[in-house]
Amino acid sequence: MTDERSRAVERLDRVRRDADTPEATRKLYDEWARIYDKDLTDLHGYVAPQATARALADIMPDRSAPILDVGCGTGLVGRALAACGCSCIDGVDISPEMLAEAEKKGVYRKLTAQDLSQGASAATDSYAAAIGVGVFSRQMLPPEVFEELLRLVRPGGQIALMVRGDQFEADGFGPKVRELAAAGRWRVLVQETVPYLDTLGETGNLVLAEVQAKP
């Protein structure tokens, strides 16, 4: 491994290890923001944003309808959605420096700094779709936040999630996907294992779901 790549792996490991409170997460991502895209895309083969965005765009009946990008980071997901023809994308993230990088992508209608573990400020049913890539994880957003996505997305809308393969079952994401399906809150359209950080050989679990009528 080159020095550059091993330093990038160290930065990834550090965030995965130390981002264990919202405040620590904000600080670590603020520090990482300017080189995040290079680390993830060039050095780690981060293919999850494109795969998830493409999967969502393919099932959206109207790509001009509003989409919420949850934990949007530097905007890799927004950029991928825009490349698929999606034209109305809002982003929310806890890290102002990540949001500053997202702004530079020029694809978001609105970007908001918010700790989503405390809920989102957007109104009920204000989105046709939501997407969350790499933000539902052991240390960041827990499976319970899926319920907040169900509040924000109107019935008939779509939700696209990408969760690290090693955490999907172990940290309750798979069980929560099944619980919400059994309760009739969403209908799971796709659940599959796909490449996530390709260079590192990591896979992710892609979930596509359609929101059902609110209880």
Ligand X SMILES: C[S@@+](CC[C@H](N)C(=O)[O-])C[C@H]1O[C@@H](n2cnc3c(N)ncnc32)[C@H](O)[C@@H]1O
The least CB distance from residue 18 to ligand X, in Å, is 12
Output the six-digit token pair for 100: 């500053």
Question: Could you say which of 140, 149, 180, 197 contacts ligand X (CB under 6 A)?
Answer: 140
Contact call for residue 202 and ligand X (CB under 6 A):
no
Backbone φ/ψ region at 125: left (φ over 0), alpha (ψ -120 to 50), beta: left
CB of 25 within 8 A of CB of 95?
Answer: yes
Question: Could you say which of 116, 130, 206, 207 contacts ligand X (CB under 6 A)?
Answer: 116
DSSP tag of 61 = S
Question: Could you say which of 12, 53, 81, 94 contacts ligand X (CB under 6 A)?
Answer: 94
Assign 3-state DSSP to the chain and report helix, strand, coil percentages, each to 5: 45, 25, 30
CB of 115 within 8 A of CB of 92?
Answer: no
Output the six-digit token pair for 145: 């936040």
Contact call for residue 112 and ligand X (CB under 6 A):
no
Q: x-or-dash pattern for ligand X, window 57-86, by CB under 6 A?
A: --------------xxx--xx---------
Contact call for residue 134 and ligand X (CB under 6 A):
yes
CB of 195 within 8 A of CB of 133?
Answer: no
Contact call for residue 97 and ligand X (CB under 6 A):
no
Q: Which is nearer to ligand X, 20 or 62 (CB)?
A: 20
CB of 12 within 8 A of CB of 168?
Answer: no
Q: Which residue is nearest to ligand X (CB)?
A: 73
Candidates 53-61, 111-119, 196-204, 206-214 — which segment interacts with ligand X by CB under 6 A? 111-119
Question: Could you say which of 12, 66, 95, 164 contacts ligand X (CB under 6 A)?
Answer: 95
Query: HEC profile for 167-188?
Result: HHCCCCHHHHHHHHHHCCCEEE
Q: Which is nearer to ligand X, 8 or 76 (CB)?
A: 76
Output the six-digit token pair for 11: 């930065």
**C-alpha 145: how far from its chain's center?**
12
Q: Which is nearer to ligand X, 172 or 212 (CB)?
A: 172
Q: Which is nearer to ligand X, 112 or 212 (CB)?
A: 112
Residues that bind ligand X (CB under 6 A): 22, 25, 29, 49, 71-73, 76-77, 93-95, 98, 115-117, 133-135, 140-141
